[in-house]
Each structure stands twice: as structure tokens, then as C-alpha cells.
Amino acid sequence: MDLEHFLKERLKYSQYFFTHASRPFEDIISAIEAEKPPYVPVYDESGEPQYVQEWVDASTGLESVGITALSMLASSLKLFLNDWVCRIEPRDKPYKRTSGNRGWFHAYKIILKDVGLNLQECPADLELIEQVILARNRGQHAESLINLRTTHSENDLKKYPSPYFVSETDKRIIDFDDGDQSWWLTPHIFVDQEKLVQVTSEVEKMCVWLEECYRNT
């Protein structure tokens, strides 16, 4: 089976999904911020900002689309790694694909090292790929009933004090605190087109490299 071909097809679809699924939420946010119909403010003596809930709902929807796209990336990578390993492992002694609390990606990295690959030679940013998986896990395992938005966990922030998947606003706060976890609000997981393109490229680079290694053995 041409693993590289099918991997690229899945990655391509995740981009397609994000582009089209995020557009309605982006349009709502843009219309509210530009005060365009149907979000033209009406006179209100209180002076309070209007359409706040609509903006929050659209922002949360956009966040959810991003996390879903990351989940698609993570699952594509996991499927690829499983099929890649299936081609080389002994039938009577399959490799262990889990690593306790450290997760499946760590387990696969151990397998790759055990079969003689030097991950230092991999052109992909493996730390960035790991952040894809961590963000996906946060989206799949919510901790609070009262909060629809998804935040980075304390443990994830200890490992990556300057996480990749944050908005510019949260990034400025992190930079201001010099990466110290003293923020009164935990940064939300934020994915935009640029970030998704970058991490998709990293996943693809890793998989292409693995296929080259396989063909050269």
C-alpha cells in the first residue's frame, strides 16, 4: 500500500475541512467587529458592547473547528505510523504501541529508535508534532462542564511554556510574563490557517522521511 499517498490525501482533506468549516464563524466575527449587518449596533444608553455573546459563540466555534482539524492530523499520523510499523515488525512479536501516560507518539518514537532510525536526522519538528497531539487530547477530554472553550493544561504548559497553539493576545501575555505560569487565565488553544498549514507540513515531512528510510533499507 502506498502509505505516503493516502497520508497526503488525509492531510489535504484536513486543510479542506478547516477552510470551509471555519468560514461561517470567521464571517460572523468579522461582521461584528466591522459593525456590518446584521450586527449593526443600536442605540443603547448603557454604552455596553453589543453582540458579545454572538462573538463569543463564533469564536468558540472557530476554536472547535481548529481542534477538530488537529484531531484529524493526529489520527492520520497515528494510522500512518501503525501501518509503517506493521511492515517491519515480527508477526509473532508485535511492537508495543503504548507508553503509559507518555502516549502513543512517544511509544512510536521508541519503536523507530529501536529499529535503528536516528530521529535527530528527521527533518520534521517533532516537538511541534507532539503539541498537535497534546492539543487534540485537550479537545477530546474536556475537564469542565461550564466552559466550552479548550485551554492548555498545566502539565502541557510546563513542558511547552510558550505553546504554539495560542492566539496573538495570549502570546503577548506569555511573552510579558517571560513564560512564567503566573497568568490568571490559562491560554486557550487557538488554531488558524497559518498554524494548521505549518503543522501539516511537519507531519508530512516526518512521514515522507520515514518512507524514504523504509525504501532505503
Structural domain boundaries, residue 177: 3-215
**pLDDT tens digits for 105-127?**
999 999 999 999 999 999 999 99
Contact 31/39 with Cβ under 8 angstroms?
Answer: yes
Give 12-38 pLDDT, tens digit per residue. Answer: 999 999 999 999 999 999 999 999 999
pLDDT at 181: 53
For residues 187 and 9, give the distance between their C-alpha atoms in angstroms, rounded to a whole number.
32
Choose the weakest-confidence range: 52-61, 64-73, 84-93, 122-131.
84-93
Q: How many domains does the chain have?
A: 1
- Does a cis peptide bond (omega within 30 degrees of 0) precede residue 38? yes
Indicate the DSSP class of residue 188. Answer: B
Contact 165, 189 (CB under 8 A): yes
Is the pLDDT at 184 greater than 90? The verdict is no
Distance, C-alpha 125 to centroid of its chain: 14
What pTM does this model have?
Answer: 0.90
Residue with grid cell 504501541, as numbered in its chain: 97
Rounded Cα gap, residues 133 and 149, in angstroms = 17
